[in-house]
Amino acid sequence: MARKIQLTLLGCGGVGRQLLRHIVSTRKLHEDQGLRVAVMAVVDSKSIVLGEKNEELDDTALLQISLAKEKNNQMPAGLNARAVRKEYFDATLAAAIRTITEETGRPLVVADCTASEKIGQALAEIADLNCCIVLANKKPLTSSFNVYDRIAALNRRYRCESTVKQEVGAALPVIATLNRLLNSGDSIRKIVGALSGTLGFVMSRLEYGESFSDIVRQAKELGYTEPDPRDDLGGMDVARKALIMARLMGWRINLEDVEVECLYPPSLAPKLMSTMQFLKGLPELDLPMRNRVKEAAARGCVLRYVATIENFHCKVGIVEQPQQSALGQLHGSDNLVEIFTRCYSTSPLVIKGAGAGNDTTAAGVLADVLDLQDYFG
Amino acid sequence: MARKIQLTLLGCGGVGRQLLRHIVSTRKLHEDQGLRVAVMAVVDSKSIVLGEKNEELDDTALLQISLAKEKNNQMPAGLNARAVRKEYFDATLAAAIRTITEETGRPLVVADCTASEKIGQALAEIADLNCCIVLANKKPLTSSFNVYDRIAALNRRYRCESTVKQEVGAALPVIATLNRLLNSGDSIRKIVGALSGTLGFVMSRLEYGESFSDIVRQAKELGYTEPDPRDDLGGMDVARKALIMARLMGWRINLEDVEVECLYPPSLAPKLMSTMQFLKGLPELDLPMRNRVKEAAARGCVLRYVATIENFHCKVGIVEQPQQSALGQLHGSDNLVEIFTRCYSTSPLVIKGAGAGNDTTAAGVLADVLDLQDYFG
């Protein structure tokens, strides 16, 4: 008799779609371990797709959903499933989850693979239902403490490994490592991390003498940036990752408390111009950036965009790093986290990883889901 | 009402003693989390110390045991506890554990902090009692499959993070990371690791032109080696760590299948001479080693003592590494593991850490124990 993990997937973008495929492709592996990941519902912003008669969605349905969402961002028609069309990333979501738990008489893992801010309230209500929650979405953990505390109260019944590493290296066990250290009584003194593959690419290219504007354009063409590169260059994504780690350490701080260096001036802000106009205006940043690189090089250093978490202060921005240091040696879109503790005081514990994209992030979400298996008899 | 993890500690050497202190010093932290680690028994090779009337040993008793074992390697007299004197690292151990589980009516976590080979059989019987097992001792996982399979059948109810990192950096999450990767369906292609702090110290010192014999003598004086340095230079400790990772990946191989490079010739073996004589004979290895270092340097490389796990083959020995590579940059007693997978194919997932000794290893054991808390209602 297999141990069944009932899962509801929220969000069916790149990560969610890939998660459905991973679930299907690891089916045999998990069966051999006496495990079954049963997807009870897939939810996007417009609809919820449920199995018939509270059964799980079969593998054909999961692949159909994944394909249809990829093709035209629509849930497929004609599924052997109930599809309810409605605005779903709000309070009605919690009601739907409650119905599933009541009708099946079993707890659920709810995996948030959206990028939604407003889903936080629904997740807080879902947490109160004593479901397990797995987050790839950083926003519920980085907005108000009203939402954060209710999710965090789940303690070991929520996981969020993929929030810190959403773009790059989702299987990197940063959160799990921090939890291990905290639980074993080791005190964390400082965390320094290069947490953005996009900004890692940009900063390490600067060393080769290329201009800032050229590198950003290249990164956009290669699909390394968001459609609007300012979403990466603004640093808020890194700030959210830093905040998640700081809150994990028990700090009661908010996103506004994180000191963030934005890599473009207010005169190029999204409210003033389009992405195209921004890219045209970008060369004005080349000279100042080139000077910063030169000044750092004269001191044997390179520039890195880094989060520093220390003494109840979170800071995110460009710092000079010695060329020979671990961060200085970092190249391309590799991510790296250094953790200084009582036990790791002189030489930090280092976790480094490369690899980008939804495949790795979805694998990280699945690992988090499986890590909850002990709650499912 | 606190969640109580009942623990029995096997072995009260450096790691076990430190574990008892960690348990006492993290008492308050865990109480705040609604957790209590209740030490029901402490076992060394000659005796078992139990609380009175199946109660846990109180903090005074735990500290007394830790101190007395440190002072004269004896369990303390006059404890408010039952002490039974007997040979304990054999089958009678399983019987004693069975009695504790029956009398308290609750499951146990049994933490093996011994270095005993023959304790394996007892652990296999304890596994059959459906207790949880945490291992810092590598031997039960690297001897016969008869023992291994019965422990491994516990699946998530056994943990062994500290076996791979016993000397250095026990909190490094190598085993946990491998498990995450395997569970999420990522396939592991290769593992390369510098897994011995002692050999890391020796190999990185060779670069500075010091002689092999001088470095080994220094390492012994600094307490970095075992009392007989041949226990480190023989490579078997690294081979056991490699074997644990290989078996975790499902390989049915034994310690004899690991190809091991021993850093001293048969003419200097323990059965032929004492440690003192060995240290006197050691300079005969200086010239050949110096030549190896020079040849590597001519190719822009350095020597590292590394475990390589690939294509169903485990190899442990000296390899040349480019000076600029992550392994080439490794210094002192730092450990480093590179994991190549489908997702991490070109640039590996890297975990690196420093910090030595029983403090860190014991912290790793405690983290493993706490990670089992979901089995204790």
A363 → closest Cβ in B29, B186, B360: B186
Quick check: A366 and B155 CB within 8 A? Answer: no
Nearest CA in chain B to A353: B349
Percent with pLDDT over 70 in chain B? 94
Spell out the alpha helix ranges (H) of B143-266: 145-152, 161-164, 174-183, 197-206, 212-221, 230-233, 236-248
Residues of chain B with Cβ-Cβ distance to A156 below 8 Å are: 373-374
**What DSSP string runs through A152-215?**
HTTGGGEE-HHHHTSSB-TT--HHHHHHHHHHTTPPEEEEEEE--HHHHHHHHHHTTT--HHHH
From chain B residues 157-186, the ones with a CB under 8 A of any chain A CB are 169, 171-173, 176-177, 180-181, 183-186
Q: Please indicate if any CB of chain B lies within 8 Å of the CB of A347.
A: yes
Bridge partners, residue A301, by sequence: A322
The CA distance from A166 to the nearest CA of chain B, in Å, is: 14
Q: Please indicate if any CB of chain A lies within 8 Å of the CB of B353.
A: yes
Residues 6+ away with beta carbon under 8 Å from B4:
B36, B38, B106, B376
Residues of chain A with Cβ-Cβ distance to B334 below 8 Å are: 347
Evaluate whether A69 touches A44 at the Cβ level (below 8 Å).
Answer: yes
The CA distance from B190 to the nearest CA of chain A, in Å, is: 15
From chain A residues 3-32, the ones with a CB under 8 A of any chain B CB are 22, 25-26, 29
Chain Cα centroid distance, residue A159:
12
Please report the domains of chain B, with CATH numbers, ordered by start residue: 3-167+359-375 (3.40.50.720), 183-355 (3.30.360.10)
Q: Please indicate if any CB of chain B lies within 8 Å of the CB of A187.
A: no
Structure tokens at A118: 């407003």
- As annotated, the active-site residues of B are 241
The CA distance from B269 to the nearest CA of chain A, in Å, is: 35
User: How does pLDDT run along chain A (377 residues), one tens digit per residue?
Assistant: 688 999 999 999 999 999 999 999 999 989 988 899 999 999 998 888 988 887 899 999 999 999 999 999 888 887 766 666 666 777 688 888 898 888 888 889 999 999 898 899 999 999 988 899 999 999 999 999 999 999 999 988 999 888 875 443 345 678 888 888 888 888 899 999 999 989 999 999 999 889 999 999 999 998 888 889 999 999 999 999 999 999 999 999 999 999 999 999 999 999 999 999 999 999 999 999 999 999 999 999 999 999 999 999 999 999 999 998 889 988 888 889 999 998 888 888 899 987 556 777 888 899 899 989 888 86
Q: Specify the DSSP element, H or E, that contains A151.
A: helix A145-152
Sheet holding A313-322, edge to edge: A259-260, A313-322, A301-310, A188-194, A335-341, A349-353, B349-353, B335-341, B188-194, B301-310, B313-322, B259-260
Residue range B320-328: average pLDDT? 91
Is residue A241 among the annotated active site residues? yes
Residue B169 has what pLDDT? 39
Residue pLDDT, tens place only, B114-143 = 989 889 999 999 998 889 999 999 999 999
Dist. CA A66–CA A61, nearest whole Å: 9
Q: Please indicate if any CB of chain A lies within 8 Å of the CB of B187.
A: no
From chain B residues 123-162, the ones with a CB under 8 A of any chain A CB are 155-156
Sheet holding B35-43, edge to edge: B81-85, B47-51, B35-43, B3-10, B109-112, B132-135, B158-159
Q: Please indicate if any CB of chain B lies within 8 Å of the CB of A250.
A: no
Evaluate whether A148 touches A116 at the Cβ level (below 8 Å).
Answer: no
The 3-class secondary structure across A28-89, one letter per residue, is HHHHHCCEEEEEEEEECCCEEEEEHHHCCCCHHHHHHHHHHHHHHCCCCCCCCEEEEECCCC
Confidence of residue B356 (pLDDT cuts 50, 70, 90): low
Residues 6+ away with beta carbon under 8 Å from A303:
A203, A206, A292, A293, A296, A318, A319, A320, A321
Nearest CA in chain A to B333: A347
Dist. CA A280–CA A217, nearest whole Å: 10
Q: Please indicate if any CB of chain A lies within 8 Å of the CB of B344.
A: yes
Q: Which of A69, A138, A220, A241 is catalytic?
A: A241
Residue A360 has what pLDDT? 79
B374 → closest Cβ in A22, A156, A344: A156
Chain Cα centroid distance, residue B130:
23
Residue B86 has what pLDDT? 65
B363 → closest Cβ in A343, A351, A371: A343
Residue A169 has what pLDDT? 39
Residue range B151-162: average pLDDT? 90
From chain B residues 189-208, the ones with a CB under 8 A of any chain A CB are none
Structure tokens at A338: 């250094």
Residues of chain B with Cβ-Cβ distance to A371 below 8 Å are: 180, 183
The CA distance from B243 to the nearest CA of chain A, in Å, is: 22
Nearest residue to B3 (alpha-carbon basis) of B77, B82, B109? B109
User: Helix, strand, coil shares of chain B as percentages rounded to 5?
Assistant: 45, 20, 35
Buried b (16+ CB within 10 A) or exposed e, A117-135: eebbbbbbbbbeeebbbbb
DSSP 8-class letter at A90: S
The CA distance from B336 to the nearest CA of chain A, in Å, is: 9
β-strands A349-353, B158-159 pairing: unpaired
B87 three-state secondary structure:
coil
Dist. CA A275–CA A229, nearest whole Å: 8
User: How many residues make up chain A in this entry?
Assistant: 377
Nearest CA in chain A to B361: A343
Quick check: B349 and A347 CB within 8 A? Answer: no
Q: Please indicate if any CB of chain B lies within 8 Å of the CB of A255.
A: no
Nearest CA in chain A to B175: A173
Quick check: B354 and A344 CB within 8 A? Answer: yes
Residues of chain B with Cβ-Cβ distance to A249 below 8 Å are: none
Nearest CA in chain A to B30: A183
Dist. CA B86–CA B307, nearest whole Å: 39
Residue pLDDT, tens place only, B203-213 = 999 998 899 99
Residue A83 has what pLDDT? 66
Residue A249 has what pLDDT? 92
Evaluate whether B286 touches B213 at the Cβ level (below 8 Å).
Answer: yes
Quick check: A181 and B172 CB within 8 A? Answer: no
- Alpha-carbon distance values, A239 to A315, A352, B98 (Å): 8, 19, 51
Counting one residue from chain A and one from chain B, the pairs whose CB atoms sit within 8 A come to 141
Quick check: A351 and B350 CB within 8 A? Answer: yes
Residue A356 has what pLDDT? 53
Structure tokens at B253: 């191989």
Residue B168 has what pLDDT? 36
B363 → closest Cβ in A25, A26, A186: A186
B359 → closest Cβ in A343, A363, A364: A343
Quick check: B351 and A347 CB within 8 A? Answer: no
Evaluate whether B49 touches B78 at the Cβ level (below 8 Å).
Answer: no
Nearest CA in chain B to A368: B180
B183 → closest Cβ in A329, A350, A367: A367
From chain A residues 295-334, the ones with a CB under 8 A of any chain B CB are 326, 329, 332, 334
pLDDT score of B271 more than 50: yes
Residue pLDDT, tens place only, B11-52 = 999 999 999 999 999 999 899 888 999 999 999 988 889 888
From chain B residues 259-288, the ones with a CB under 8 A of any chain A CB are none
